[in-house]
Structure 1
Amino acid sequence: MKDLVTFSLFILLFCTCSDSLAVYGRSAATTSRTAPPIVYTIAGSDSGGGAGIQADLHAIHSFGCHGCSAITCLTAQNSVGVIGVHAPPPDFLRAQLETLLEDLPPQAIKIGMLGTKELAIEVGAFLKKLKALDRKVWVVLDPVMITTSGHRLIEEDAQEAMVKHVFPHIDVLTPNKFEAEALLNRTLETISDVEEGAKDLIALGAPSVLIKGGHTLYEGGKASNHIAYAQDYFLSSVQRNTGEPRLCDGDLGVWLRSPRYETEHTHGTGCTLSASLAASLALGEQERQKPDGKRRGATSAIDTVDACCLAKAYVTAGIFHGIQLGQGPGPVAQTGFPSSHQYFPMVVADAAEDHQRFPRMKAYDDKTTYDDNRPTLGRILPVVNDEVWVQRLCQDPGVHDIQLRVKGIDDNKKILEIIKKCQKLCQASGKRLWVNDYWQEAIESGCFGVHVGQEDLYTCIRAGGLQLLREKRMAFGISTHSYGELATALGVKPSYISLGPVFATSSKTVQFDPQGLSLVRKWRELIQKEVPLVVIGGFSDAERAKAVRGLGANCVAVIGAVTQANDTVEAVSQMNEAMR
């Protein structure tokens, strides 16, 4: 092992800890009697408190999890620099890990600084032992190797041992651009370089990869046009979605985009990102262990992309709020579980593209006047499946928007005929017709807007449909059920975003658990105020509508509450009153 004194001169890892980028934070654990998920951090100690296990434990706690630590190295450092490093012997690291495992088994593990070949081998052996457990344990590796300024932090033999012994047992690898370059032994200068690099890192044994630092990329010899964004690339070799593909599945490759803030107070961003990512995965895993009826949809749906979105939001907020504490750069602030649209990322397919916003809609209670030409979205959005119901609703003065969801018909000509009839009825009565999924037929029929789910959104994107819809100035709504789907919807910049199912429903088979009322409030926090939030699923009476209105929902999509009512006009009136 190289002289530790020489090693310490380069141990500035805790000044940046891999360039990076409080669902419910503490409330996730404190609102119930259930013990919080346990998350390990296997990393170095930062005596200055801004990075390493100190930052990790702060982040883990902010996500409502219990943090345990196993120390791989001790440092004597402050905000100005590092003056000394001590690496404990591998057998003591083993003792830490085995002692924890006997009493406090984890649901997720974050791995940071390993430093030496021997420590990397020891951690690899522990992870191999974990695989014998009859439960899922998520593992996130932040390969702390090189600082953002390019200083190398570990020796070549430690890097090789990490790839050989640790990579086979992890779920997500989170290198910064310099670390990805070191692992691949080549530079990554363009968007396509990073995308190809992620594939090659997966070939080294990492199932999923998040490469941080996309704002440093160049295209065509010029700096990125989106320097205002902090962009990170995610790719996974794991296909977790058994249905139709979605952009947020991760195996297609996506960019996570958030605001970029010019500040030097970013000490510990990489540590904080990987720790919050592991904590997010632990929350999702624990939620999935609950019985039916107890799970919250977006929480139980947390997978790798969702966790990356939450972690990036947490770090972005921390960068924004970071301040100087000593004489050197300050640490990223440890805030709380993501609760502001200002920091929540967008998921996009192309790092070089910045979508034009779809026509804005105005919620009925929106008092802003910056765009007086925005049409006002109705307080309720009846969803029906044929022209008979469309004609009936067109006669109701309490209905302003109607969504047509054609079901059980495979003939596209017949579908087009139905949509045209419904559009004619709506146009004659001054109603706005939204067509579910069939965007091409909606364009041809001259409808007001289109609503799609995440699977049809992906198909629409691949077919160039978004550009066609924007050219026609048609309104666009998107369904969301998970944090990754929400980030994808935000990347499209739609007219409204919907969340569902809020309550259990039999009107449509969905693969997500009911969201519950707490998710309605969370969605409202993570969506810009000027974008209406539509909720759907299980609104059998006006009392449920009134409950979500109090949590920030602007419109409720209803099916049975209207179509199965004895008096449709009265049902519409009650729903409208509840959403006032």
Structure 2
Amino acid sequence: MTVAGSDSGGGAGIQADLRTFALTGVHGCVAVTAVTVQNSLGVTGFAEIAPEVVAAQISAVTSDIGVEAVKTGMLASAAIIEAIDDAFAAAGIGRAGIPLVVDPVAASMHGDALLVESALEALAGRMFPRATLVTPNLDEVRLLTGIDVVDAATQERAARALHRLGPACVLVKGGHLRGHQHSPDLLFDGTDFRRYDAVRVDTPHDHGAGDTLAAATTAALAHGRSVPEAVGFAKEWVTRSLTAAYPLGAGHGPVSPLWRLSAPEDR
């Protein structure tokens, strides 16, 4: 299940999540938190869904269909986060129960705000302690911890600081780490570090990369993989999706999991 915002351009948000879910062999359910007005050039506005409606979507799915793993994306406001947290508690989602991946989406790749400032505290205080895994990019790390990640040492320091906020595991993504030929991600479970490295894909079309990574991790958890295995699968998935990215509109095109359709040997 994805609990996130809708991208009218189809490259990120629940649209990206559902594409990855389908192509990794899981049925995707949704709870829509916001409707964004966006295209390849950026976000020009969004409308929040009423918190009680977001919570009702979660309840409707979990009480009938059930879920094996859940991810969150754009959560928009503190009121929505609080409603989601209560719905997750009622459904047994998070930490000791159903795996929960929290992608702490605060802004679009163009820098457009997708989370009101007052919601950041609710995100860290309500969602992080419930999370099996959180997957911030470096801009989100800076917002949450004040740490500017510039190398391996500061990446480890940021992972420790984020882990103190309560999640079982933290993945500090290195895709925005400039001046590196590789994209280094760092997983920390409170005791051990594990690094995932991939050659940086030279493309301007990377819209939805973070959503796709989190969705692939969630799908792998739904298939019963451990967190380190799920992250390894997702790292390869998003790298191949970046390689298959395509231009769309006048701005940044989306990463594409559609490579899977022409690679039957990887099914």
TM-based fold match above 0.5 = yes
Residue in structure 1 matched with residue 68 of structure 2 by the alignment? 107
Name the amino acid aligned to 2:181.
A
Partner of 2:167: 206
Higher relative contact order (CA 8 A, sep 6+): 2
d(CA) in 2 for partners of 1:335 and 1:314? 11
Per the alignment, residue 44 of structure 2 pairs with 83
Query: Which of the numbers 188, 194, 201 marks the counterpart of 1:261?
Result: 201
Q: Is the 8 A contact 1:314 1:338 kept in 2?
A: no
C-alpha RMSD of matched pairs (Å): 2.3
The normalised TM-score by structure 1 is 0.44
> Structure 1 residues 78 and 214, CA, compared in 2 at 3 Å: closer, same or farther?
closer
In structure 2, the CA distance between the partners of 1:171 and 1:159, relative to structure 1 (3 Å rule), is: same
Name the structure 2 match of 1:323: 246
Taking the aligned partners of 1:214 and 1:324, their CA distance within structure 2 comes to 20
Aligned to 1:61: 22
Residues 395-442 of structure 1: CA deviation (Å, up to 9, x unaligned): xxxxxxxxxxxxxxxxxxxxxxxxxxxxxxxxxxxxxxxxxxxxxxxx
Equivalent position amino acid for 2:140 in 1: E
TM-fit CA distance, 1:335: 2.8
Structure 1 position 275, deviation (Å): 0.7
Q: 2:126 aligns with which of 165, 168, 173?
A: 165
Distance 1:74-1:147 versus aligned 2 partners, 3 A rule: closer
Please tell me whether the aligned partners of residues 112 and 141 of structure 1 are also in contact (alpha carbons under 8 angstroms).
yes
Determine whether 1:307 maps to 2:230. Answer: yes
2:35 to 71, 74, 87: 74
CA, structure 1 residues 151+46, in 2 after alignment: closer, same or farther (shift >3 Å)? Answer: closer
8 Å CA contact 1:174–1:212 kept in 2: the answer is yes
> Number of paired residues?
265
Q: State the SS of the aligned residue for 1:115.
A: coil
Residue 234 (1) aligns with residue 187 (2): yes
For 1:555, the equivalent position in structure 2 comes to none
Radius of gyration: which is bigger? Answer: 1
Preserved CA contact (<8 Å) 1:141 1:172: yes
Match of 2:192 among 233, 239, 252: 252
In structure 2, what residue type is equivalent to 1:328? G
**Residue ranges of structure 1 left out of the alignment (5+ in a row):** 1-39, 218-222, 238-250, 285-301, 341-520, 526-580
How far did 1:112 drift?
0.3
Shift of 1:189: 2.1
Measure, in 1, the Cα distance between the counterparts of 2:9 and 2:172: 27
TM superposition shift of 1:279: 0.4
Other-structure match for 2:84:
123
Partner letter of residue 12 of structure 2?
Answer: A
- Structure 2 unaligned spans of 5+: none
The runs of 4+ residues in structure 1 deviating greater than 4 Å are 147-152, 336-340
Amino acid at match of 2:208: G
Distance 1:215 1:43, change over 3 A: closer
How many angstroms apart in 2 are the aligned matches of 1:178 and 1:273?
A: 16
Residues 232 and 256 in structure 1, CA contact (< 8 A), matched pair in contact too: yes
C-alpha distance in 2, partners of 1:84/1:147? 11
Query: Which residue identity does 1:178 align to in structure 2?
Result: D
- Counterpart-to-counterpart distance in 2, 1:123 and 1:165: 9
- Report the alpha carbon displacement of residue 131 of structure 1 after superposing the two structures with TM: 2.5
Is contact 1:191-1:214 (8 Å) kept?
Answer: no
Distance 1:189 1:151, change over 3 A: farther
User: Contact 2:71–2:100 (CA<8 Å) still a contact in 1?
Assistant: yes
Q: Is the 8 A contact 1:73 1:86 kept in 2?
A: yes
* Equivalence map 1:179-578=2 (5 Å): 179-213=140-174, 216=177, 223=179, 227-237=180-190, 251-284=191-224, 302-335=225-258
In 2, Cα distance between equivalents of 1:327 and 1:338: 26
Tell me if the contact between 1:63 and 1:336 (Cα under 8 Å) persists in the aligned partners: no
C-alpha distance in structure 2 between counterparts of 1:339 and 1:203, whole Å: 42
Cα deviation per residue 1:171-215 (whole Å; 9 max; x = unaligned)? 000000110111102322221111011011111111101111266
Q: AA paired with 2:78?
A: K
